[in-house]
Structure formats: structure tokens, C-alpha cells
Structure 1
Amino acid sequence: MKKSLFTPLIFAFILLLALVLVPNKWIIKLIPHNRISQAATELNPFMFQGKYVQDKMLSSDKYLPVYGSSELARLDQFHPSNYFQVNKEGVTPFLIGRGGTESLIHFLNFSEHTEQLKNKKIVFVLSPQWFQPGGADESHFAPNFSSLQGYDFAFNDKIDPNMKKRAIKRLLKYNAVNADPMLTILYKADISKDPLVHSEAALVRPFAKAYQQVLIKKDLYYTLAGGPHRHRTISHSVKNKSWNQLEQYADRVGKKYSRSNQFAITDSQYNKIEARVPELKNSKAGASYGRSVEYQDFQLVLDLLKQSGAKPLFISVPVNGNWYDYVGFPKEGRTAYYTRIKNQIEQEGFQVADFSDHEYDPYFMKDTIHIGWKGWVYTDRAITDFLNDSNKTFANK
């Protein structure tokens, strides 16, 4: 009985030990050459919460990294992933982000790749709804937090020390970080003058280093295995069209899929909220995106990109003005955000495509908060000018 009970456990332990001891270079040799191109539109969190795939992507001139959140999954014929593929602009957008991927998560991600970001053009899509008074809450932060990126950040001595301390103080506000005692001790040692804390950090450091190596190997195995392949339909309907033609086409498509309501919200989304629409009227009175700790978190992103020598284009997405008026979200509470975020970006010398004037532009948004058909057309044009080093005023096109 004992033999039959313990044999599977012993076998499992030996197998686990073997997997851990396999040299990383052996695993890397087995990773398919097309894994990076597959991951470009997969939106697989295993890929963008890891390190290997992004290292390879950022080292290639083929890819244009596009960072954002849930809007990246709104793939249609106008989406940059489709537009740039069929129009052969020389780059392939690589999508990094999902719902809840806000400033602190992007900051940790960028901190993994500071050397590859030097002189690298990237696109960063901003969402107003990130800028709630308390910033990213636990429910959005925790699913997107990467232990590998968290440990790599702890051992990263290339980041400006003051910036690192600011980031750690924010990270320690989250249960997802505090739930890891080794990481918590390492972080506290960076911001504390207490000798006891530094002694504890010295004790756990070797174990933390070992765990970091396990996380690196885990990332390689995930990359080797890949994720569930999502078939993306490629539409050639946007090929070789002028920007005016694309706008008109986007209007037609938007109208076709938004017939059920006066807010130009896609029918499928409106059907989900239709029963609650009457009770939502004036439910957001007094709200504002102009005051939020997210601005501090976003400043960390700006500071790190500046230190890294990256060349970002920020896309400032509006809200659906008609819907926001209906729910009573004050116009000044939106304008405060548009003005503040634009000033914050430009003060660092970065470019921003400010689309705040399009709040009431039908079909610019697909629903209440996500960029839609016409919005992607404007984004495609802004990215094209950015890649061509144009200094035009993006918002006035």
C-alpha cells in the first residue's frame, strides 16, 4: 500500500525537479520561431505578463508595441492589427494589455525592458475610466499582476532609486503584493531605514533569487506551450482607401451595428444594459476623472519611458458624450481629465493624439467607453503619421 501511495508522488517530484533543472537555453531552442508573430494579436496574459516574448518582440523592428487595456480586444476591420496588416505599412502591431491593465501594471512591464525600449517607438492607449479617485482597485490590479515582473523589479538596480521607491510605496497598497512575504520584505527594504527589515531582506534574498529563476523558467515553458490559438479574420475592406473614405466606411458600419439606441452604442452591448438604462439616468452626478491617484501612477510610466529613451505616442480616447450626459457625468469632470492628461504628457516632451473633441462624434466609440469604428480610423492615421515622423496636430484631422 505504501509503495502504491508514494510512487506517484516520488515520480511527480522527480519530474518537477527535472523540469526545473533543464537549462533555459535548451527550452529556448524548442520554442517555435513563429511564437512571437502568433502572440501579436493573441492577447494572451501568459505572454505579456512574462518576459521572453516581449524581449524578442522589442528587439525586432518588425513589431510596433501597442499598450492599453480592454479596448485592444475590440478587433474589427479598422483596428490597427487589421489595418496595418492589409495596408503593408511595414510594421505589425503587437497588442499588450487587457481589462484592468492600468498604469502600475504597465510600469512593471516597462521596467522589465528598459534597455529594449531605447529609441523604440511605441503606442500607449489611455482610457479615462482608469482615473477613478482611488486609481486601480484590487479587482483590476490582482489578475494582471505578474510575480515575475514583481521580482525582476525588486532586483532591478538600473531604475532611478527615487522612482523605484515611489512605485514600491504604491505597490505595497495591494494585497496581491503583500500576499507574497518574500517580495514584501524585499520591497520594504528598499524604502525602510530599519536595520531589522534590511536583515530580513538579506536572509530571504537568496531564496527570492532562486524563486525568480523558477519564474523565468515557468515563463519559458508557457512560451514553449503557447496559448489557445484565436483565429483572427482578416478584412481587406480597408485596403488602399483614403482617410476620408475610411471615415465614411466607418460611419456606415457603425450605423449598421448601432440601430437600437440614440447613444450610438453597438446593439449587442446595448441589449445587455437596456433593462437598467432608466435607473442609470443621472446616476453619475458629481463624478470626475480630474482627481485620481492614477495620475501619480501614470507619472511613473512617463518617468520610466523617459529614463529608458523610448519614443511613445499616447492616444487620448474620449468617452461617449451622449451616454455620459445621460448618466449625469458632468462635462467639467471629463474636460478636467482631458486637459490634465494632455498637459502631463506634453510636459515630458511626448506626443499625444488628443481625441477629446470627438465625444459626440457618432461611431467614434463602440459603446460607453471603448473606442470604436471611426475612433480606430483616427488612431490608424495618428499612428501612420507617428511612424512617418509627422508633427501634425492629431486631434484636428
Structure 2
Amino acid sequence: MKKKLWMIFGPVIVAIVALLILLWAPINFKTVTPTKVQQAATSLDVRVLKGESVKNAAEKENYIPIIGSSELSRMDPFHPSSMAQKYHWKNKPFLLGNPGTASLTQAMNVGGMANLKGNKAVMIISPQWFTKSGVQAEAFKYFLSPLQLTGFILNSDHGDKAMNKYVANRIIDLGVSKGVIEDNALERISEGKQITSFQRFYIKRVSRASLQSQDNLFGSISMNNHQKIIDKASSKLPDTYDYKHLNKLAGKMAKEHSTDNELQIGNNFYNKQLKKNIITYRNTHKHVTYTHSPEYNDFQALLYMFAQNKVEVMFVIQPINPYWVKYTGMPLSSITNFDTKIKYQLKSQGFNNIVDLSQVKNPNYIAEDTIHMGWRGWLMMDHRLKNYYKDKKANPKNTQYKMDDYFLTDKWANDTNFSN
């Protein structure tokens, strides 16, 4: 009888024990190959965003991250990944963003990128993040990585105390719960206290050790593969880089792909997302404002993460489709005031490399949909990236940041008394 039971349950028990050993054994599994990193660079796979092993492997190779949100999925010929492939940039973009990711998610993401220290990054800022309510709790909880959370908790004994308190309080306020011990540790950090010795031991040796093993084992399995899309897009570009010629080509392609509407929106997006209810959007944004938002505080947490690791950052303020702005009745002051406020927050602390696409002389076909870059917008950004990507190491002169805790306050979140 015992032999029969073992024949039935033995293999299951052995499999469970083997899995537990894999997840908790102090073994560094080498599953992230250069080929996997190349695939991950354009995959936009959420496991890559929430993990650490693939991104840290990419930082050892010729990749510079572009951090953003849903605009990164607009892979037309002028997308940075297409341009980098066609024109053989020394360093290639590594895309980190998904629809719904905003400043706080990316702060946790950057905090977990140990190998980003002393290197470059690109950060795309979306005005629409900066609403009165800020990031949606469900979106943040979905993208919050338990692995990155444990890293934040363990690193909370150093760095800026005000920032650590802010992030811990924000995570708690957004309703995140990842375990009793982790929750209690966050409570202590939010109160300005250090975590206990037991909390450190458990989170480091048990919780985080298991999460790291899972990330090493499963973080790069069956990722999205967008290489064929990039290949097709880059094949439409001329062999020689000439900005004026490419600018005309971008306008031509954009015009050909936005024939179903007068808003210069790509046909695919327009027909799927807007056509049936387009009339309901007319004059609906008359009272939109982007100057009162907790997102400014979340953005400051992200800036702290960059500053702590001496990361040189190019910030790109992406445009809102000007035809959409007019159709929805959005006041131009909503955009200009946001632009002034966010640039004040950046420049006053030493983040001076800003590519502002929110106000350009010729905005035609700068956006592919309503609020995301495409075609000429990508090309304008690429033109600045081309030289920036020649060296991935940060210039120490460009990382002399002077951080100000005022930008973590409610007063700043709602402040309109600022200058550029």
C-alpha cells in the first residue's frame, strides 16, 4: 500500500521539493542571454518592467533605457528602436513602459535597476499623468513589483529620508499589501523609522531571495517578440540619415495613414477607439488642468531615484495632438502652465536636458493619436537621441543634482506660483 501511494504521490512531492530548492537555494541561475536581452529591449513585456535580472543584464551591454508609458508601443518607422536599428546607433533603446505606468511605478522600477548607476537614461513625460487624482490605485498595484518593493524596503536605511517616507506612505495610501512583514516594514519607514532586524532578515533571506530566483528563472521565458515589427518599420527608411528628408517622409507617411479623419490621428486608432463616439468628445476638455496633481510628488520620487544613482537623464515632454486639443476645447493654458511647472521642477534641481515637444512651430503629424508621439514627434526626439546615445556613461558634470524636499509636499502639488 505504501509503495502504491509513493508511486502516485512521490513524483509530485519530489517536484514540489525540487521547485522549493530552486526558489530558495542561493544559486545564481544564468538564464538571461544576450539574445534574450535583445528580445526584451522591444518586448514591452510586463515581467521585464517588474523584474530586475533582464534590465540589469541590459545595463552591462549596449542599451540605454527609454522610460515611459503606452507611447512606446507606437512602433512606426520613426520609433527610436527602428531608427537605432536602421542607422546603427552604438547604443540601442531598451523600452520600459506600459499603458497605465506613471511616475511612481517608474520610481520603483528605476530603484530596482542596480546597474543603471552612473549611466544614462531617457524619460518620456506625459502631461495626462498629472490629473487631479493622480495615478489610479489599481494601475499602480498591478505594476508594483514585489521584488522591487523588497528592494526599496531593504534600501530604506540610506538615501533621502523624506523621499523614503513619502514613497512608503504613498504605497500604503494606494492600498498595496504584499504580506504582513512587508506591510509592517512599510509602516515603520512611513514613520521615519528603520526596519527591524527580523524584518530585514526575513525580507532579504526569505522573501526577496525567492522573488529573485523566480525572476532569474521565469523573467525572460516566452517574452513578447516585436522584432519583425521593427524590421518591417526600419526597412521603410532610407539608407542615409538626412533629417530634412526624413521629416518630409514622416509627414508623407503620416498623411497616408490618417485619411479617415481631419484630426491627424492614425486610421487604426481612430477607427477602433474614436469613430463611433467622436461627437461625444467635442468641447469635453474645457476645464482640464494639469497643474494640480499628486503626480508632481510622485515625479519627485522618481527624480530622487535618478539622483541617488547619479543617472544622467534626457527628459522628453511629449505633445498632445493640437487638433485634438482644439476639438475637445482644451485651453492652451493647460498645456503651457503644465510645461512651465514641470520644467521648473526639473531645472531648479539640475535636470537640464529637456526636449520639449509640447510647443513646436510646426506641430503637424507630431502625434499618432490624441496624446502620444508618432511620426514627426518620434523623429524630433530621435534627432536629439542620436548623439546622446553615442555614449551610455553619464557625464558627472550633468549629475550634480540639488534635490529639494519641497517638491514632495501637497503645497507644491497644487502650486501655481512658479517661474521657469
Q: TM-score, normalised by structure 1?
A: 0.89
Match of 2:371 in 1: 369
Letter in 2 for 1:220: N
Aligned to 1:292: 293
Match of 1:217 among 196, 213, 219: 213
Judge conservation of contact 1:99–1:140 (CA < 8 Å) in 2.
no
Once the two structures are TM-superposed, the CA of residue 5 in structure 1 deviates from its matched residue by 7.1
Match in the other structure for 2:93: 93
| Distance (whole Å) between structure 2 residues aligned to residue 343 and residue 89 of structure 1 | 32
Give yes or no for the alignment of 1:313 onto 2:308.
Answer: no
Structure 1 Cα separation of the partners of residues 332 and 376 of structure 2: 22
CA distance in 2, matches of 1:193, 1:67: 29
Q: Match of 1:137?
A: 136
Distance 1:82 1:230, change over 3 A: closer
> Gaps (5+ residues) in structure 1?
391-397
Contact 1:321 1:360 in 2 (8 A): no
How far is 1:378 from its partner?
0.1
Give the drift of 1:376: 0.5
- Structure 2 unaligned residues grouped into runs of 5+: 396-420
CA contact (8 A) 1:342 1:354 kept: no
Cα distance, 1:158 vs. partner? 3.7
Which residue number corresponds to residue 343 of structure 1? Answer: 344
Q: Aligned ranges for residues 7-46 of structure 1 at < 5 Å?
A: 7=10, 9-25=12-28, 27-28=29-30, 30-46=31-47
Aligned to 1:393: none
Deviating more after overlay: 7-16 vs 233-242: 7-16
Deviation at 1:311, TM superposition (A): 0.6
Q: Answer with 102-111 or 248-257: which moved more.
A: 102-111
Q: Does 1:208 align with 2:207?
A: no
Aligned-residue offset at 1:20: 2.3
Judged with a 3 Å threshold, the aligned counterparts in structure 2 of structure 1 residues 183 and 23 are, in CA distance, closer, same or farther, namely closer
Q: Distance in 2 between matches of 1:76 and 1:224?
A: 25
Runs of 4+ in 1 over 6 A off after TM superposition: none
Shift of 1:358: 3.6
CA contact 2:23–2:209 (8 Å) conserved in 1: no
Q: Which residue of 2 aligns with 1:155?
A: 154
What is the aligned residue count?
Answer: 381
Are 2:124 and 1:121 aligned?
no
Q: CA deviation at 1:56?
A: 1.7
Q: Deviations over 1:356-386 (max 9, x none)?
A: 1149722100000110100010010011243
Q: Which amino acid letter does the alignment assign opposite residue 89 of structure 2?
A: E
Distance 1:359 1:290 in 2: 24
- What does residue 266 of structure 1 align with? 266
User: Structure 2 CA distance, aligned partners of 1:57 and 1:32?
Assistant: 10
Return the offset for 1:180.
3.2
Identical counterparts, % of pairs: 30
**1-structure distance, mates of 2:64, 2:34:** 18
Once the 2 structures are TM-superposed, how far is the Cα of residue 205 of structure 1 from its aligned partner? 4.2
Question: Secondary structure of the residue that 2:38 maps to in structure 1?
Answer: helix
Amino acid at match of 1:165: K
Confirm or deny: 8 A CA contact 1:57 1:63 kept in the other structure: yes
Q: Deviations over 1:237-284 (max 9, x none)?
A: 333131111110000000001011111001111112112111221122
Shift in Å, 1:24: 2.3
What one-letter code is carried by the residue in structure 1 that aligns with 2:90?
G
In structure 1, what is the Cα distance between the partners aligned to 2:73 and 2:192? 44
Please give the alpha-carbon distance, in whole angstroms, between the structure 1 residues aligned to 2:152 and 2:192.
20
CA deviations on 1:116-143 (whole Å, 9 max, x unpaired) are: 3333111111111111112111232122
Matched residue, 2:305: 304
1:204 CA drift (Å): 4.4
In the alignment, what sits opposite 2:166?
Answer: 166
How far did residue 341 of structure 1 move?
A: 1.2
- What does residue range 106-117 of structure 1 map to in structure 2 within 5 Å? 106-113=106-113, 116-117=115-116
Query: Can you list the C-alpha shifts for 1:186-218, whole angstroms capped at 9, x where unaligned?
Result: 111113379xx97xx555443333011100000
- C-alpha RMSD over aligned residues: 2.4
- Structure 1 Cα separation of the partners of residues 309 and 85 of structure 2: 28
Structure 2 contact 37–54 (Cα < 8 Å) conserved = yes
Distance (whole Å) between structure 1 residues aligned to residue 32 and residue 383 of structure 2: 35
Q: What is the rounded CA distance, in whole Å, between the counterparts of 1:228 and 1:129 in structure 2? A: 27
> 1:179 deviation in Å?
5.0
Stretch moving more, 381-390 or 291-300: 381-390
Which amino acid in structure 1 is aligned with residue 283 of structure 2?
Answer: N
8 Å CA contact 1:125–1:314 kept in 2: the answer is yes
Structure 2 distance, partners of 1:333, 1:372, is: 22
Q: Is the 8 A contact 2:40 2:220 kept in 1?
A: no
Residue 148 (structure 1) shift: 0.3
**TM-score, length-scaled by structure 2:** 0.84
